[in-house]
Amino acid sequence: MTAVGIDAVEIWTGNLKLDLPGVFAPEKGEDPEKYTKGLGLNASSFPDSYEDIVTMGANAAHRLMERKGLEPDDVGRIDVATESAFDNSKPVSTYIAGCLESVFEGDFHHANKGERKFACIAGTQSLDDAYNWIRAGRNRGRGALVIATDTALYARDDPGEATQGAGAVALYITEDPDLVTLSTEQGYGSADETDFLKPNQQFPSVDGKRSVQVYLARMREALVDYQSVAGEIHLDDVRFVPFHTPFPGMVRKAAMLAYRHIIRDTAVEDELADEIGRQPRPEAFETDEEFREALREYMDGLKETDRYQEWYAETIDPTLTIAREVGNWYTGSVHVARISALKHALEQGEDLSGQKLAVGSYGSGAQAEIHSEVVQDAWKDEIGALNVDEQLEERYELSWDDYEEIHDVHNHNMDVDVESLTTPEGEFVFGGWGRMGEREYEYVE
């Protein structure tokens, strides 16, 4: 059976940066540590006035194709995952294909194009679609381009405002990939939930507390479902666990839940029993509330153990490095986490070839998916070719007045025209409106 997976990745962050402890917190009258320690965020990325989900996605895809020496004829499928789409009929993938056709010879007329929507999990669903398309033998030797692109803005003064972000991740999916292969086994947790939604509106309606509960519940279900087909997961089997990361503080909760579940009825639980006792079992309690209280006490103790903290520092924390500086990218966030982990390993001189990642994706509404990936021998070349650090360093730092203006520019209910804060170079930009109200784009050398 031929392995299928991610051959290459590229990333494109919005060209603007909002310093959360230095700019956002003082304006809100908040302690900066609410953001840096509570949410786990230092900064958010934002699109300049000439940027949007099309330009960011096209720029990431352009860079990937140029680096890999790809032409349009090498791509048989283009899927865009986004929850920031601006058209209910024409998919974002057609706009991005049009941008790419303006800089490459040939066209994508042969390519199947689509747009995926299921909140933040849509990027992973598009990855699954590409995998299935190739495994079914329908690709005719071509690869698939998967692009996760979002402008994750909240209404002003919304509690989620500090978690905003904007950027895109492009992935090229092929047989015999250079980066990671994908497991056949998957686990799902899915339910009809109302935790985060956008009913015909740009900015989300969010029940923050409920959203955390739903995220954790669906992740637990997905983990149980994955183990039912892939077998038990052991801590030593997995090098990194990239999670969907709306903000790093959320991942702290998901990681604790996963760790507790994985060590139950294992030697690790036995070894920790002398320090914090064994995990509570529901059958030992008369009421659900008594069980939940005992479970909270156990987890409070577990997270303070040296063993858990060492595991978290080695397995989870490296996946959060980029997210701390860019905020939430919705459909791209779990794919940013993967890049962050691999980048960390490269910088530490670690050889990951043959090692396993356990990837936990989530989308509100709600669904979680867990699958595994195996790192391939050429991973160092792929990750070493990225310029993430340069992109983060080159972002324009917003003042508070700048932030208010740029937020208004990207508010679909406002008609605001302001000068760009940066000068585009070697990238696609929004060029104005067409005769039917469509967006038009151009490439700036």
Residues carrying an active site annotation? 83, 120, 244
Which region, left, alpha or beta, applies to residue 196 given φ > 0 means left and ψ of -120 to 50 means alpha?
A: beta
The helix or strand, by DSSP H or E, that contains position 45, with its residue range, turns out to be: strand 43-46
Are the C-beta atoms of residues 108 and 72 closer than 8 Å to each other? yes
Separation of alpha carbons 333 and 322, rounded Å? 10
User: CB burial class (10 A; 0-12, 13-18, 19+) of residue 217?
Assistant: middle
CA distance 248 to 60: 24
Q: What is the CA radius of gyration of the chain?
A: 22
Work out the angle at residue 253's Cα, subtended by the Cα atoms of residues 267 and 355, and round it to the nearest 5 degrees.
55
Amino acid at 260: R
- Output the CA torsion sign for 169, 392, 239, 364: negative
Amino acid at 334: V
CA atoms within 13 A on the CB side of 399: 3
- Give CA–CA dist 407/411, Å, rounded: 6
> In terms of Cα–Cα distance, which of 56, 44, 23, 242 is closest to 160?
44
